[in-house]
Amino acid sequence: MSVPQQQFDGFRLDFPATLDDARNAVRSVIEWLADQQILPDECQQWELVLAEAANNAVNYATPEQSRLTVRIEAALSAHDIEVRITDHTSGFDWPDHVELPDDDECDHGRGLFIISSLTDHVSYLRGKGHNVLCLRSQRKSTPKPQEDTEATLELMTAEVASCYETLANIFRLIADAGNDVEPVALASRWLEELRELAGADFLVLRMAGTEAGRLPIVGGVPSAIVWDPLLELRNHDAVETLAAVTRQDQWFDESTTFATADPLRKAGEHISGLSHPLESGGDLAGVLTVGVFKPRWEPSARELNVVRSLGDFLGALLHGLHRRDEANQSRLMKRELQIAADIQRSLLPAELPQTPFVHCAAHLATVGEVGGDYLDAILLPDGSLLFVVADVMGKGVPAALFATAFHSLLHSHLDLASQPSRLMRRLNKAMFAELDRADMFITAQLVHISADGLALQVCGAGHAPLLLSGGSQIQEVCADGPPLGVTADADYQDFSVSLASFTHVLLHTDGLSDVVSGGGILSRDELHTWLQGAAAAASDAGSSRDSLHRLHRSAVDAASQQDDATFMIITRGAQTLTANTQNSLSHAKG
Amino acid sequence: MTLTASAQLTAPAELCAATARLWRDRLDIEIKPGHEEVCIDLSKTRFIDSSGLGVLLTLNKNLRARGASLKLINPSSAVCQLIELTRLHRVFEMIHD
């Protein structure tokens, strides 16, 4: 007997035209049907039908025809079983109506009746040299989904291959990221890679940034699509938002109704795909959307695996890079502030000048690393002194830079020190353009005291008034003009004061007591009372500075505010310099 | 009481075209002219086709011709279904124990 030919998508067997071979052939067909999960009852019926048909193919063959084999073929569809028997007999005309013999006891003539009765459809095709009997019946039960071993194996192989492919891509991605590539460039390159690997038409990647509730775009392909730069997580109708909020994949296709504000509308009308949330350490890292310009996307398991695995990894990597950049930025900022603070400290006089007639002490306080307050005291060649207190609007590096510029300009124009208003005008002219461009300004107070300590000239630029006291009275000198940087050709006036009846002079920034706006810590009256007391007690400059600092400190503590006051005490007279006054600049950092 | 000469035979598992000749030869040997009754045990026959039925019909016809009878004992359901399909239940006497 021939071996079944399994390359046919069904069952096929050629067998010699003998009754024994016919019987064996029928058994083989039935075994095959049983293997195909055909019910035992159906198999039993088909066994009888095929036995009758095969017997006929053998019984009606002439000896010469018997030398040729008979072919039996069986095939299954979802609903039918079909069997064909090809013989080489002379054939016969299949009757229109197949009936049982009239004589019940007749011992033959029932074969065709059995075949017709037990099948739904019979056709007999007579040909030259061969005939084909085609038998078909509906399957009695819906076939269970067959596990196609080859297909399963193929699927598993594809899955393993896909895992290796993903892994290889992850290694490439790690190597790429290790080259210190800028994150946006890295994302763009890998979105293109992903598009090819996943067989997609478009991709858009949004990553969580510093701003909560918003996902800025990191990259999108193709570049022809102009994606919305920001995804608002409040907009719950958008597919990407839904993926981000639910942390679950969101599929979309032709049946999806996109909200009017859905950013995915930018990709076109007939699109389909997947929005996949990216997580890192339990946090939402971003959303990756992959799609095609077709009404329906049916990615293979491999493509889906690549999208999810590589997407997740890319998301985690970019999230990590973002965190690293933030930390670097923070470190850089801290370092810059440190440098600015160093610059600012370098601007302070190493020691304050003291003369037999004029002594001074000062306190500078800064908030954070760098503040905008500035002070200086310069002994001029003729023995006179120039005292400067200034406040650059704002804090941090820009304020420190302007303080530096102010310091440089001041020291390069000391020839005008005896005329503070001219010096102020020069400073304003020199700095106006830069201050105006940066939308900043500087308040300042220049005080010139003659070498004998008896004449004082003061010029202010939007600064707190100068306070003078001799112990029994207080005098405020406003001598005010606009702050530097407000008007290019601002006019400033000198105000002259004879110091004969004053012993104590106080210059300060508005952090100590804003007598103009009332925003300082100490009230105007408190400050006046203190200065009058210090003058009455004939406190030297250092002791007065310490006393005022203590007063201010306690007020700061009581108000839980920051100590950002800068002030300078000038005393006149023949007081002996105390150790406290020598090099009398104190500096506090808030 | 009258004793009837009876032949008891067991049919093969498959009573079909391939086995019909052998089975017919065996019947010729086992059944004697004196047998007034022939009992064929079909309980072990799981498959029968029109050729197998033809053997039984010929036997039945021959026995009746000489006044003897054929009894089919305990036919399996597959055999019963075919006998009924071909309406031979009107011809054969079937006995179920």
Domain boundaries, position A512:
348-589
B19 domain-assigned = yes
User: How far is Cα A574 from Cα A571, in angstroms, rounded to an integer?
Assistant: 9
A5 in a domain, yes or no? no
Tokens for A2, please give them.
């021939």
- Which residues lie below 8 Å from residue A117, measured CB to CB, with a gap of 6+? B85
Give the chain B residue nearest A48 (alpha carbons): B49
Cα distance between the two ends of chain B: 23
Domain count, chain B: 1
Please indicate whether residue A178 or residue A61 has the higher confidence score (pLDDT).
A61
What CA–CA distances, in Å, run from A221 to A46, A50, A110, A188, A269? 60, 62, 74, 8, 17
Inside any domain, residue A87: yes
Q: pLDDT category, A115, cuts 50, 70, 90?
A: very high
Q: Are residues A29 and A106 in the same domain?
A: yes
- B41 touches A at CB < 8 Å: no
> Smallest Cβ distance to B18: which of A20, A100, A110?
A20
**For the domain that residue A485 is a member of, what is the CATH number?**
3.60.40.10
Per-residue pLDDT tens over the stretch A313-326: 888 888 887 788 88
Q: What is the pLDDT of residues B52-87, one digit of tens each?
A: 999 999 999 999 999 999 999 999 988 999 999 999
Cα–Cα distance between A418 and A210 in angstroms, integer?
53
Comparing CB atoms, the residue among A52, A100, A105 nearest residue B57 is A105
Are A463 and A562 found together in one domain?
yes
A59, B18: Cβ pair inside 8 Å? no
Q: Are residues A230 and A310 in the same domain?
A: yes
Given A138, A167, A191, which residue is the final one in a domain? A138
Whether residues A170 and A29 share a domain: the answer is no
pLDDT digits (tens, 9 = 90+) for A287-342: 999 999 999 888 887 788 888 888 888 888 888 877 888 888 888 888 877 877 77
CA distance B81 to chain A (A): 10
Residue A354 near residue A569, CB atoms below 8 Å? no
Q: Measured between alpha carbons, how far is A476 from A532 in angstroms, rounded to an integer?
A: 12
Q: What is the CATH number of the domain that holds B72?
A: 3.30.750.24
Shared domain for A179 and A119, answered yes or no, is no
Residue A464, domain member (yes or no): yes
Domain boundary among A107, A138, A169: A138
For residues A447 and A554, membership in a common domain is answered with yes
**CATH number, residue A99:** 3.30.565.10
Nearest residue, CB atoms, A51 vs list B49, B54, B87: B49
Asked whether residue A522 falls in the same domain as residue A563, the answer is yes
Q: Do residues A576 and A445 share a domain?
A: yes
Q: Is residue A296 part of a domain?
A: yes
DSSP E strand stretches across A152-261: 202-207, 214-221, 230-232, 250-252
Residues A371 and A313 in one domain: no
Decide if B1 is inside a domain.
Answer: no
What's the pLDDT tens digit per position in A456-491? Answer: 999 999 988 999 999 888 999 886 799 999 999 999
Is the ipTM reported for this complex over the cut 0.85? yes
Q: Examine residue A127 and state whether it is found in any structural domain, yes or no.
A: yes
Does one domain contain both A312 and A197?
yes
Give the closest of B16, B50, B78 to A114, CB-based. Answer: B50
**Chain B residues inside the 8 Å CB shell of A110:** 50, 53-54, 86
| Residue to test with chain B: of A15, A23, A100, most B Cβ within 10 A | A23
- At A482-538, the pLDDT tens digits run 999 999 999 999 999 999 889 999 999 877 775 444 455 788 888 899 999 999 998
Regarding whether A390 and A302 lie in a shared domain, the answer is no
Q: Is B25 exposed, middle or buried (0-12, 13-18, 19+ CB in 10 A)?
A: exposed
Question: Chain A contact for B57, CB < 8 A?
Answer: yes
- Tell me the C-alpha distance between A93 and A124, whole Å: 8
Let me know if residue A56 belongs to a domain: yes
The range of the structural domain enclosing residue B12 comes to 6-95
Q: Are residues A281 and A174 located together in one domain of the fold? A: yes
Q: How many domains does chain A have?
A: 3
